[in-house]
Structure formats: C-alpha cells, structure tokens
Amino acid sequence: MYKIRQGVVESIIIASRNVHPLEFISMLGGRDRVIEELVVVPAHFGESHSSYRLDLVPFDEQIIGTVHSHPSVYNHPSNADLDSFERFGKVHIIISYPYTLNTLRAFDNYGKTMKLQVIE
Ligand SMILES: [Zn+2]
C-alpha cells in the first residue's frame, strides 16, 4: 500500500480538469511509500496517449512513480501505459473523467490495483 498527501491528490484533480480533454501526465516524487509531490516533467499531451520526453527527463531518485489522466471514464492501464510503468518507479496513478477521488486508482508495475491511502 502507498500513501499520498491530500495536497497532491488535489493538484492531480485540478491539473486533469485543466487539460481536459487532453491527458495530464506527470511523475510522482516521494520517499519510502509516501507520495509527497508532483514532479512535472516535459511531456507531449495527447488526446488518447501522452508520453514523456525521455531525452528531457532528469534523473531523480525521488521519482517513485507516474500519474496520468484518462479523459474517458475508462480507468485501466493501456498496453502503452504498462510499458511506461515498468520504466519509472513502482506506483502509478490513473485518474479518469470526471476526475474525483473516486475515479483515482493506483497500480503497480504490472497493472495490478494497489491500495492508496490519502493522508494530511
Ligand atoms: Zn493511460
């Protein structure tokens, strides 16, 4: 199980709503199993798939996972998602439309749902 700060959840919700109907994509920073911050990295925001500019992603040991939005109500990792999950960290959040805490889920590198606890 991972924990995530309330403020990070709020940032994810706001950012996803702001870029809708495009996908929001970012990385997650933290330590141990606590997600402490969004690490904004250069990325292409697409309508059906976003990707990181790998050439511009800094090496950062604080990066423990990824987050991206799905502009649809479908909240499961795509095959492309699974490819990028393996490359960055160990916890991956997908938030789907309409972007609330209820449509936010966390997955491991294999696309299996993980428990995520929101903390102050
Ligand atoms: Zn996706």
User: Is residue 38 a part of any domain in this protein?
Assistant: yes
Residues of the domain holding 94: 2-44+61-119
User: Is residue 52 a part of any domain in this protein?
Assistant: no
pLDDT in tens, 19-59: 999 999 999 999 989 999 998 777 666 666 666 666 656 66
Looking at residue 26, which CATH number applies to its domain?
Answer: 3.40.140.10
Distance 23 CA to ligand 1 centre (A): 8
Distance 119 CA to ligand 1 centre (A): 25
Q: What is the pLDDT of residue 44?
A: 65
User: Is residue 54 a part of any domain in this protein?
Assistant: no
User: Is residue 53 a part of any domain in this protein?
Assistant: no
How many structural domains does the chain have? 1
Distance 24 CA to ligand 1 centre (A): 10
Distance 111 CA to ligand 1 centre (A): 11
- Does the model's pTM come out above 0.85? yes
Nearest CA to 84 among 37, 51, 53? 51
Compute the C-alpha angle 28/89/20, nearest 5°: 45
Q: What is the pLDDT of residue 49?
A: 64
Distance 33 CA to ligand 1 centre (A): 22
User: Is residue 91 a part of any domain in this protein?
Assistant: yes
pLDDT range class, residue 84, cuts 50, 70, 90: confident
User: Is residue 71 a part of any domain in this protein?
Assistant: yes
